[in-house]
Amino acid sequence: MKFSTRGRYGVQIMVDLAQHGTEGPISLKSIADRQKLSEHYLEQLVPELRKAGLVKSIRGSQGGYILAKKPEDIYIGDVIRILEGPIAPVDCTNELDGESCCEKTDFCITREVWVKVRDSINDVVDSISLADLLHDCNKEDVKRLSELFE
């Protein structure tokens, strides 16, 4: 029960863009350097965020990416679902009715568990915006930075 690197790196990319977005387009290279990730691998992920309308790209020299919306309007759930596909702890929770997948078992008694888990995860990630994360991050940054001088 793990998120893959796609969702994790995706959130890191968005946070990085939010933190540096005031400085004009941010190149993948600079994100990869800061976050210690493979630039080439990120190249596979960011276009999907672009196609989904979460970031905009500027090609060519001095180009890069910027957020397509305010951090307040970008939810972590969207980032994760774009890169990982729908959040569904088991496949049959994706379907509208549980009929087609569950004829094997006793009327799919266990389905209730997976549906509740699915809804709970989606509720959490859909309740956290990029702005929420940044806000906490800044407070944390200040705290840790000040600790360095104690």
- Say if CB 32 and CB 90 are below 8 A apart: no
Q: Which is nearer to DNA, 22 or 60 (CB)?
A: 60
Q: Please report how close the Cβ of residue 111 comes to DNA at its closest, in angstroms.
A: 17
Contact residue for DNA among 37, 74, 92, 125 (CB under 7 A):
37
Q: Which helix (H) or strand (E) holds 42?
A: helix 39-51
Residue 62 touches DNA, criterion: CB under 7 A: yes
Among the residue ranges 3-11, 39-47, 50-58, 63-71, the one whose residues contact a second copy (CB under 8 A): 3-11
Nearer to a second copy, 63 or 120 (CB): 120
- Torsion angle, alpha carbons of 41, 90, 95, 55, to 10: -20
Question: Using CA atoms, how far apart are residues 13 and 6, in angstroms rounded to an integer?
Answer: 10
Nearer to a second copy, 59 or 143 (CB): 143
Which tokens hold the place of 18?
């939010």
Q: How many CA atoms lie within 13 A of 136 on its CB side?
A: 6
Compute the distance between CA of residue 110 and CA of residue 99 in angstroms, rounded to an integer: 13
Residues 28-47 that bind a second copy (CB under 8 A): 34-36
Q: Does 141 bind a second copy (CB under 8 A)?
A: yes
| 62, interface contact from DNA, a second copy, none, CB < 5-8 Å by kind | DNA
- Least distance CB 57 / DNA (angstroms): 3
- Burial class of 88 by CB neighbour count within 10 A (0 to 12, 13 to 18, 19+): middle
Residues in contact with DNA by the rule CB under 7 A: 4-6, 9, 25-29, 37-38, 40-41, 43-44, 46-47, 50, 57-65
